[in-house]
Amino acid sequence: MLKSHSTLAFALACALTTASVAPTLAMGRMNGPEWLTMMEKIRKDKEPAGSPLWVNVKVKKADVAGGTLTISHGAISKIHMPAMTMTFPVTDPTHLQMLHKGDPVQIEVANQDGTVRVIDFKMQH
């Protein structure tokens, strides 16, 4: 009888751990449109609909030739989003040369024809 209770307790502990970890793991594999949807949830509480979506991030890599910006941001507990690093195409890559790894910037992002792009950025000092 004790063995069956121990087995049941272990199975329950595993199930609870899996249930709490699975959403976090899924968020770590988020694509651009999913990420944008989560970020827009934050904006709804702070700004009127239709206003630009600006996000505070750190530059990981600015690829001028490839026209992409790799960024990272910390965890956003309000929407249960873990810290993550993502790469986005940029509408105008000419200004990427000003960015360096570790620079704190604000990026404006938008979904353009199903692709989330960085459409503008502001340096933060």
pTM over 0.75: no
Residues 51 and 7 in one domain: no
pLDDT of residue 80: 75
Whole domain around residue 46: which residue ranges? 31-123
Residues 18 and 35 in one domain: no
Residues 52 and 93 in one domain: yes
In angstroms, the CA 101 to CA 118 distance is 17
Residues 6+ apart with CB under 8 A from 100: 59, 62
pLDDT of residue 9: 36
Number of domains in the chain: 2
Tell me: the pLDDT tens digits for 39-78? 777 666 666 666 667 888 999 999 999 999 999 988 777 7
